[in-house]
Structure 1
């Protein structure tokens, strides 16, 4: 029985080396020496009769067969770990680390997290806020929610939501029915996004103001708070502005909007095990919440 199954330590060495990209990091995770991990991987390759890695300097790259084998091996260990925990009294769920930009944390995620905890009371969640230009710490993050066009290559990417971009302002600052009047208002713009006031005026054939935005900020949350205080008209994704619009703190300055060109994506770094049941549950919940948001 199971005569063709390689030794489990060899499979663990392959799984860790493939996820982490070199034998040194795999050895740290497994509590072995790099040479021991390398020996086990070579033994696995000899048993299977095929190379699983292409070795270049100190990095490892999966062959075609290695790419096909890794998801099966990782899922098997994830299933075994989960079943062992459930049957033998181990911790029902390990800690999950989720990271996203501060504005998404505050304006979209935080108001919904109680629903996830109600559905998964045994899951322990660590929520981090990312900063613009911050280098991802893939070894520590299970789910990284990023803003952009989805073209990251350091993990498995799943679209979470795209959002149209609105011009919003305090009710007292509303420029009136003519959208061209927005050009005479102080403008607030979020740094680091592609949907700018320049694109707004160009798309709708409006004459831009003679000067640029009066205020530039690095987070949508700051732009919203400034707009509520009558500091200007802000360009904000609908998913962020919705609560302010519903409360009446802000209104749409015009019916014109910018279509969604970028959005938020779930990135699951290759260095982490995607098949942990609690991680899969959090990902599924995030996608369900996004679908209900309508973005």
Structure 2
């Protein structure tokens, strides 16, 4: 059973923002509990009172943790694909292969006004643009073979040209030459986490995502549809993990086991409420019971996020 914790660091109006020390303590506690990954949300519209940009926060968290996966959301409207791909690839090297990007096909209607689109963007255009953006990012992550960089002073060869791949993407919304000026990461590529998939998005999500976060309502149907779509896309179903998002205090260990045993998910993503101490209830009460039932780990067997999730290397092609 794979386990994640989603952390929304935006404070409510009138409340003081959470500090880095508080966030670091929570993530370290999740790491001590053997949780696969922490997902940090980000917001780029005016109502957010988050004190940190999510990828910057991941860089800091990478220095105070050793094993837990670190995932940040980043909007396809707020970034260009080359810069975002470079940022996450760099974070993956800094963290020794523990980074993931959380992408969504669900549009925030207020966000566009902060990025030169005061009139917004049509939903259909947003979806096509986001899909193209995600494809570019994954293509850039694969721009260098693992052994492409030689650093051979004697011969003066920095890299093997045959193992460097130009993307040369020219699409409806973007034109990107590539490759990145960042090497391949220890886990091959960062993990792509997707959420906010509607019924029409399942084929795309099942083709490209490493992890898909789904809602509890209708989870069994969504899980079966995603696995079926993955097979139709030529993937082995186990190369994509589907996690159901639930409140951290919502279910007992027995209920989680029932969900898992009926093959409604590959694990759970626990959404923390504003009170970050709610994680204590999970790590102190629910997780020990999951371990007793043989469903939760007490230690990490290997180092990278892909290893934690049983994805191997490479990600979706």
Band the TM-score falls in, shorter-chain normalisation:
under 0.3
Please report the TM-score for the alignment, with normalisation by the length of structure 1. Answer: 0.23
For the pair shown, the structure with the greater C-alpha radius of gyration is 1
Identify, as 1 or 2, the structure richer in strand.
1
Q: Which structure has more helix as a fraction of its residues?
A: 1
TM-score under structure 2 normalisation?
A: 0.22
